[in-house]
Amino acid sequence: MINQTTINKEFRVTGPGLHTGRTVTVTVKPAPENFGIAFRRTDRINIVTQPALADRVGETSRGTTLGSGRQTIATIEHLMSALHGMQIDNAIVELDGGEVPILDGSARPWMLQLIRVGVRQQQAERHCFDIKEPLHFEFAKTGSVYDVEPCDHFAVHCDIDFADSVIGRQSAELNDFSEYAASIAPCRTFVFLHEVEPLLHLNLIKGGSLDNALVFVNKELTSKQLKRLAKIFNKDESLFKVHDGVLNTTDIYFPNEPARHKLLDFVGDIRLVGVPLNAKFNISKPGHKANNAFARFISEYINKQ
């Protein structure tokens, strides 16, 4: 028997949100057995506890947003990925704002906090769901494909395919949760250079920087373009470099870091099914919108069993 887990004690993390740029403090607290994972905003008069479930997701544009109206909590995927990757069953996440901080653009800072406070076993048995037959799901809007095969543990194979040659086709794997900390958690979010300014015009990525995202470049930059980008990111243009198609002040961690980050996001988004799953997931061209549709598909499948 494998028991449920929570964290030993609460911890706090403060930082700006990727899209709003507003500073938010997140407090992650232990939760009792059979509680699951839930979020709540403490900056609202009426504090609503929202279970981290796929059918509670209201928006999936450039991230996974829980809730609707004035109770939304945006960009939960990296924290959810860390909780799932560290196999935390029960936790309550409190925020004094509407977006989880982006930190370094990966799940690693959350994972390190979970390691620091420690994981505690509880008395109740963990309720895993074993998928015992092959399943197939396609999300036509994005060309995303999800195939599931029976497995006695959670595993993922992820393929991505970008027309832009600086990324192109890549694959990544998570064969067991024991690999998560070293090979998946550190992998950062990414964006193409030509997407940056339109996202700013949409009032997004106000908290984005060259320290928390990989910016891929598919063309040579003129001095005028570098000056404009330096202004956007509030950096000296002399600090910019393009190496292996990446505009950044830090090096890429893995040649396939984008594929690993897409896998990281999936680990977070699939946890919104609400229970740990034992299955091998073969996913192609995943994204938050498709991940959420797939998580709802799996939730419905579980409810029918």
Q: Which residues are catalytic?
A: 288
- DSSP 3-state of 63: coil
Strand partners, 169: 161
Q: Which residues contact 132 (CB under 8 A, 6 or more apart)?
A: 150
3 state SS for 149-216: ECCCCEEEEEEEECCCCCCCEEEEEECCHHHHHHHCCCCCCEEEHHHHHHHHHCCCCCCCCCCCCEEE
Task: Tokens 């479930």: give the residue.
Answer: 53
What are the CA-CA distances from residue 176 to residues 88, 217, 279 (Å)? 15, 33, 11
What are the CA-CA distances from residue 201 to residues 57, 196, 295 (Å)? 24, 9, 31
Nearest-angstrom CA–CA distance, 152 and 30? 28
Among candidate residues 196, 272, 266, the one with its CA nearest the CA of residue 231: 196
Q: Rounded to the nearest 10 degrees, what angle do helices 77-85 and 257-270 cross at?
A: 80
Among candidate residues 177, 167, 134, 128, the one with its CA nearest the CA of residue 262: 167
Which helix (H) or strand (E) segment holds residue 269: the answer is helix 257-270
